[in-house]
Amino acid sequence: MTNEEKQTGRPRRERERQAAGRQGRRGSRRQSREARQRARGAGILSVLAAGVLAFLIGVGAGWIVGGRLEKEPVNLSAIVAPDWIDQQLLTVNPYSRPGKRLLEVNDIVVHYMGNPGTTAQQNRNYFENLSQQTGDNTVSVSSNFIVGLDGEILQCVPVDEVAYASNHRNSDTISIECCHPDETGKFTDETYDSLVRLTAWLCTELDLTEKNVIRHYDVTEKRCPLYFVDHEDAWEDFLADVKKARKDMRK
Ligand SMILES: [Zn+2]
């Protein structure tokens, strides 16, 4: 065995081969380091891209989630009543038509008259006659719409004005009073159908849905509209009918 061999324990050719191999490994290590850096670069880019995408989606979702805040305000004064609504607007007066501008409508409130057998016309005239009150014990009450026993619809107060029906929600709601034949407060089929039609039309015009249709009960817990307070399922059915009518109306 030569010293050379002893020192290394391997013939020169093999050492050379191994040296070349080390160099090759170093070379491939460098290549893989560059590949890793490239991959890291691509990773950073895709994280950035994902961030930008998430931001854009967030902004988009923000428009949807905050829909009420972001959407165009409805111009209440531009809403034109269809011919199936009988407009008999009250005289502007402090007790039933204060002439106060309604700036926004967030909900539609359904009521029942609580005075069995009275007609839409009688109730409309009652609201009108409140303007003649004198003395200390005055009454203030009205509604934007009245639906009668035969399904007739009277409008007493414009949709861009405050009516006196829903307490602290008068300033951001539209009110609908409904006539009924008896003490149960159940509406006739004609009243019911007109109420569905009117509510669906208002939802469409006001850019609202049945989620924005509430009972007086939901405002103050007053048992109004009585039948829909006593029969929660009937109220849910009514909202489903409004939804259907609203969708049909859009076609
Ligand atoms: Zn009520």
Q: How far is the CA of 97 from the centre of ligand 1 (A)?
A: 17
Q: Which CATH superfamily is domain 76-250 in?
A: Peptidoglycan recognition protein-like (3.40.80.10)
Closest by CA position to 194, among listed 106, 37, 84, 104: 84
Q: Which residues pair with residue 214 across a beta bridge?
A: 109
The sign of the torsion formed by the CA atoms of 32, 33, 37, 38 equals negative
For residue 224, the CA-to-ligand 1 centroid distance in Å is 5
- Measured in Å, residue 184 CA sits from the centre of ligand 1 at 15
At residue 121's C-alpha, the angle toward residues 119 and 124, to 5°, is 110
Q: Which two tokens stand for residue 120?
A: 């839409």
Q: How many whole angstroms from 228 Cα to the centroid of ligand 1? A: 11
Omega before residue 73 within 30° of 0, cis:
no
Question: Residue 29: its pLDDT value, please?
Answer: 58
Residue 187 alpha carbon to ligand 1 centre in Å: 14
Distance 42 CA to ligand 1 centre (A): 64
pLDDT of 54 reads 64
The residue with tokens 């009117």 is 198
Please state the length of the chain: 251
CA–CA gap between residue 151 and residue 215 (Å, rounded): 19
Work out the angle at residue 134's Cα, subtended by the Cα atoms of residues 132 and 140, and round it to the nearest 5 degrees.
70
- pLDDT tens-place values along the chain, 251 residues long: 333 334 434 445 555 555 555 555 555 556 666 666 666 767 777 777 776 666 665 555 555 444 455 678 899 999 999 999 999 999 999 999 999 999 999 999 999 999 999 999 999 999 999 999 999 999 999 999 999 999 999 999 999 999 999 999 999 999 999 999 999 999 999 999 999 999 999 999 999 999 999 999 999 999 999 999 999 999 999 999 999 999 999 77
Ion ligand 1: protein residues whose beta carbon lies under 5 Å: 111, 216, 224
Q: How far is the CA of 39 from the centre of ligand 1 (A)?
A: 68
Distance 174 CA to ligand 1 centre (A): 12
Distance 74 CA to ligand 1 centre (A): 25
Domain residue limits, the chain: 3-67, 76-250
- Please tell me the distance from the alpha carbon of residue 59 to that of residue 76, in angstroms, as a whole number: 28
Q: List, in order, residues 6 or more apart from 165 with CB less than 8 Å away.
A: 109, 111, 141, 142, 143, 144, 175, 177, 216
- Count CA within 13 A, CB hemisphere, residue 183: 0
Q: In three state form, how does the secondary structure of 104-120 look?
A: CCCEEEEEECCCCCCCH
- pLDDT at position 58: 54
How far is CA 216 from each of CA 50, 121, 146, rounded to the nearest angstrom?
48, 22, 14
Task: Tell me how far the alpha carbon of residue 249 lies from the centroid of ligand 1, in angstroms.
Answer: 27
